[in-house]
A and B are shown apart, each in its own frame.
Chain A
Amino acid sequence: MDARTSENGALGRVGFGLPERWTYETPLAEIDEALATSGEVRPPFAAFFAALRNVSPEELSRRFDRARRIIRENGVTYNVYGDPRGMDRPWQLDPLPLVVDGAEWAALERGLVQRARLLDAVLADLYGPRRTLASGLLPAELVLSHPGYLRPLCGFRPAEGVHLHSYGVDIARGTDRRFYVVDDRTQAPSGAGYALENRIVIARMLAQPFRDCRVERLAPFFQALRDGLAGLSPRRDNPRVVLLTPGPYNETYCEHAYLARYLGYTLVEGGDLTVRDRVVYLKTLGGLERIDVILRRLDDGYCDPLCLRPDSLLGVPGLVHAVRAGSVVVANALGSGVLETPALPAFLPRLCRELLGEELKLPSIRTFYCGEPESLAYVIEHLSDLVIHSAWPGPASGEAVFGGELGQSERAELVAKIRHRPGAWVARERPALSTVPVYDGHSLKPRHFGLRAFLARRGDEYVVMPGGLTRFASSRDSLVVSMQRGGGSKDTWVLSSGEPSSVTLLHPPGLPIAIVRSGADLPSRVADNLFWIGRHVERADGTCRLIRSLLLRAAEEEGERSPEIGALVRALGADFEQASGIPSRPGAPLDVGLASVLFSDERHSPKHEIALGYRAASRVRDRISMDTWRVLSHLHLEVERAARRKAFDTSDALELSFSLLLGFSAFSGLVMENMTHGPGWRFADMGRRIERAAFMVRLIRSTLLEVASSGSLDAVLDVADSTITYRSRYFGTLAPEPVLDLLITDETNPRSIAYQLVALKEHVGQLPRARSTPLLSAESKTIVEALSVVRLADLERIARADAHGHRGELAALLGHLERALPTFAEQITLSYLAHVQPSVLVEGVA
């Protein structure tokens, strides 16, 4: 019950409902969610802190560290453009939730539902009779100049007449303690998945307080979203719903992957879908599969390069025609982005009265559309109290301008711009935001915050997520609530008056789950990426193995280079013979060249291959286990870090190659042991097998084709990781015949060529289409033939050399394989992955 002054003059309070040893600095002048101006903890937070009484700050820190680890390991990220950490920035989460009283929430909920109904009605009008324009309820310029007003959708009535299926509302709490709306997200609101992720982490971390506080559950909201979307399907039974993402470079891609997994939808990119006869299909390994509903996270202008923005190929060509034909439902309806303008709130009170016959319940931030003469006059007079926005989103719109921060000339310049085309400008009052306590590891600090609420349409009703995504500013003074600007997020607890529902989508209770094993519905793009992950990692592995052997041998050699080393360098491939400068500069130290090969930017260098593998993996994050992802990102980081180091000697290079090889083994082990052996795995493994076989062929060709260089039998065995097997079979006696047997024809040696071919033959036999036809596919024929050539090879003859020391039969065998392997890869691509190519826009010359 004591109050004391903290270092910055703000009052810190202990007691009044805060548990023992918790302090919260908050300036009394501001309005806070947890503390009333009297200094007393407000009721909802009092309930929370009471539930927290057994958790000391230290205990909370410990649990929070663990929670953060979970977030990192789950790979929850928020991509920030221009951030050097780029795609891997972890999601920032505060351990303390925003706690909202149940009754207060219920009132907010009514306002949100009304607003959703209203916005849906406005959309139906703008894409229908346009009475709002004819009557002046909405300014025509605001709508007709909006890049999100999609004319190809005008006159089209979507399923059930609903445009708005999923709606996000940014809410702030003013210093008068009223909730008001700051922004409306009407086309593809993001954040619901992050809210869910926050909930899962915090509810686990604060399990007891979470139960004690009787927090409303989020699952019923997602259930409503899912039911609502299923209900839209033109085909009633077993509708197929997909989540359309712009791809891994989008800042909220991670959320798309997470949400897709949670809702049980396939995550697709535009290229995964194709339109045939005005029906949308997913390209899968098993063929084309009809899609009924698309939940999109792609901005609507980008959804169809044919009918909408031609400059983007992220979308699905022909989608608009499929939508108009009624064969597929897109949620939110294409064109719903037209309501994303900061000007909208200025017109909502009248629209609400006219369209719904009701008074608008939930106020918005005060907004002035300069296209209206009275507003224009007001804005120019009160510029310093206002924030100026472009009326339309888009690259030209620029950032919001705080009128109060402008100098004389900037101000005049802005006024001139506004006067020139008033209809392009909107002014809003500066938000007065309430604060919320944020835990910085020591004590609680006040931060301004905003809450994004979510609504989903189910049948005729809108369902509000009880909670939402709370985001707070990065510093005490900042009013900017943005993940892009380094703020953080919180779980949002709505205290239940009754017993919270116990629905969960993770394990639907009592629902029988159909057992699925085929995996034939795997999108071809995913298979393609898995195929290439396998290929890239295996290529890096082969090169690393060679370099390690070379480095070990080079260290033992002085002066003259043995033919053995020359042969191994040849096996590196033509790219590196040049890159490393090894043959052209006989005097140059071999090890320096080799070290640079490891992380050169050349094609086929380990660094390059790892980067490509990593990139391919990032495109299929939702299909890769957390551990596999970690191994790949570790490999990527390690080699990137090494490449940046200035001094790099032989021992560094050796250490790096050992470490990378360990990483490759971990990757292989995870792929073998942790991936379900479905089609996805088969493609990843085929990629590896093809490259491993190709590597062996190259190694044997460069070391064993000419007898003159047979001093390298030992080295070959070493590179091929087969020394131990050889010794256990033949003791120390090195001879070409047994070496060739072990490396080529021995089907029990996991490094032999035959072993790879057997595995490939098994894989193609198990692929979806191969199983549906009795005939051998082209790729099967290629691999069966290659395997027979290897199996029928006469070891004695392939080991035999002619008078010049040349092994002609071996050359023929290797030649056959050198043709067969790329052919096989191409055939697989053609049969299963060919449609993974980008679209091209063509314009007839006028």
Chain B
Amino acid sequence: MRYRVRHVTTYEYGESVSICHNEARLSPLATPTQRPLARRITIEPAPTVLVEDRDYFGNTVHFFSLEEVHSRLTVIADAEIELSPKRPPDFSRSPPWERVRDRVRRDRDPEALRAFEFSLEAPGARRLPELVEYAAQSLVPGRPLLEAVHELTRRIHADFRYLPGSTHVGTALEEIVATRQGVCQDFAHLALAALRAFGIPALYVSGYVYNQRVGDEGRAQVPDASHAWFSVWCPDHGYVDFDPTNGSVPEDEHVTLARGRDYSDVSPLRGVLLGGGRQLVRVAVDVQRL
């Protein structure tokens, strides 16, 4: 399946900005099931510096600076991606979750060491007693890891209300748990905090999801936007994606941008600027199936 994604971020500043430095993680990752065919970052006005680099987690990151006075900044990320459908493994035949936990705790081969890092509590997904209790219902002793995680994913989908705009980047997990509502980032963090409390390695994924089109104009049922979900490491299967917002197991409609411990590792665009005053940020995402 092929997709074309356009992600446009526009900043408008009340006062002029004399200099800004930014990091963008807007280029789709290459994975065994995802092949970026083309990708381009367009920045207006033209940056003084634009450097492409790979971060600690293997994501493509663009560092760019605007060193001349400006009052508006537009970042356009275009990409074409080919997804080969993932065949989810038979969850019931995955190893008991305790075995996975023990393997990453004990073994220090590169794969286990890397996975171990994702089993540790991260600043954006702190362990909460309520969450531990919540997850324990799925993580019963001896249960196959992927089966347990799949159930947890569906329970989050059933128990929490998806309410766009109900939270922002800084909303604490406690609040999500208390109000039982949030957005995709929150649900991913929620699942990560719960799994890691049990020592299970799981990472945060930022990306896009394709929305089914309706009508002649091919409009999406809901406006396209960035999406987030999580991925659990399971020996022999590698990283397996789960989408708690949709209660689903991603197959060929999820485009992965970047992976990390939590949102702060992969935030699509972040900048520090001098001046600016009041600012208006607009984000528009469009995902087309080719």
Contacts and interface: CB of A to CB of B under 8 A. Distances in A.
B281 A845 contact: yes
| Residue with the greatest number of chain A CB neighbours at <10 A, chosen from B19, B271, B272, B275 | B272
A145 interface: yes
B21 interface: yes
A648 B272 CA distance: 50
A310 B11 CA distance: 19
B276 A846 contact: no
Interface residues of B, number: 46
B65 A318 contact: yes
Contacts of A841: 270-272
Nearest to A371: B105
Contacts of B49: 277-278
A313 B272 CA distance: 9
B223 to A, nearest CB: 13
B253 interface: no
Interface string A135-148: 11000110011000
A323 to B, nearest CB: 12
Among A144, A839, A842, max chain B CB count under 10 A is at A842
Nearest to A424: B121
A173 B48 CA distance: 56
A375 to B, nearest CB: 16
A130 B108 CA distance: 11
Given A144-B116, A151-B56, A845-B281, A321 B270 contact: no
Given A133-B108, A306-B21, A307-B23, A840 B283 contact: no
Contacts of A842: 11, 270-273, 276, 279, 281
Contact of B18 (A136, A277, A834, A843): A834
Main secondary structure of the interface of A (DSSP, over half): loop
B67 interface: yes
Interface stretch (B80-88, B244-252, B261-269): B261-269
B113 A317 contact: no
A427 B220 CA distance: 58
A713 interface: no
B158 interface: no
A178 interface: no
A263 interface: no
A310 B169 CA distance: 13
Main secondary structure on B side of the interface with A? strand
B120 A145 contact: yes
Given A145-B121, A310-B264, A844-B9, A135 B108 contact: yes
A317 B281 contact: no
Contacts of B275: 837, 840
Contact of A276 (B67, B113, B283): B67
A846 B185 contact: yes
A686 B264 CA distance: 46
A843 B116 contact: no
Contacts of B169: 843, 845-846
Interface string B34-61: 0000000000000011010001110000
Nearest to B265: A151
A727 B139 CA distance: 96
Contacts of A765: none
B274 A835 contact: yes
A134 interface: yes
Contacts of B274: 835, 837, 839-840
A135 B107 CA distance: 10
B21 A844 contact: no
Interface string B93-122: 000000000000000111001001100110
A308 to B, nearest CB: 11
B56 A844 contact: no
B117 to A, nearest CB: 5
Contacts of B162: none
Nearest to B169: A843
A190 to B, nearest CB: 26
Nearest to B118: A144
A305 interface: yes
A152 B56 CA distance: 6
A134 B21 contact: no
A306 B49 CA distance: 15
Interface in A778-834: 834
A154 interface: yes
A136 B108 contact: yes
A310 B270 contact: yes
Contacts of B279: 842
A274 B225 CA distance: 34
A277 B228 contact: no
Contacts of A154: 56
Nearest to B24: A844
B175 to A, nearest CB: 18
A136 B108 CA distance: 7
B27 interface: no
A841 B170 CA distance: 13
A141 B206 CA distance: 25
A464 B75 CA distance: 51
A275 interface: yes
Contact of A844 (B113, B116, B270, B276): B270
Contact of A846 (B55, B268, B272): B268
Interface string B153-193: 00000000000000001000000000000000100000000
B220 to A, nearest CB: 17
A130 B49 CA distance: 31
Contacts of B206: 846
A144 B123 CA distance: 12
Nearest to B48: A277
A276 B65 contact: yes
Contacts of A133: 108, 113
Contacts of A845: 9, 169, 281, 283
A232 to B, nearest CB: 23
Nearest to A834: B18
A305 B20 CA distance: 12
B108 A844 contact: no
B56 to A, nearest CB: 4
Contacts of B225: 846
Contacts of B239: none
Nearest to A846: B226
Contacts of B18: 834-835
Contacts of A140: 108, 113, 116-117
A277 B51 CA distance: 10
Which of A136, A844, A845 gathers the greatest number of chain B CB atoms within 10 Å?
A844
A464 B146 CA distance: 56
Contacts of A136: 108
Given A135-B108, A846-B283, A317 B21 contact: yes
The 9 closest A-B pairs by CB, nearest first: A844-B269, A317-B272, A151-B56, A318-B21, A846-B226, A317-B21, A306-B272, A844-B9, A839-B272
8 contacts: A135-B108, A277-B49, A306-B22, A317-B21, A835-B274, A840-B272, A840-B274, A846-B283
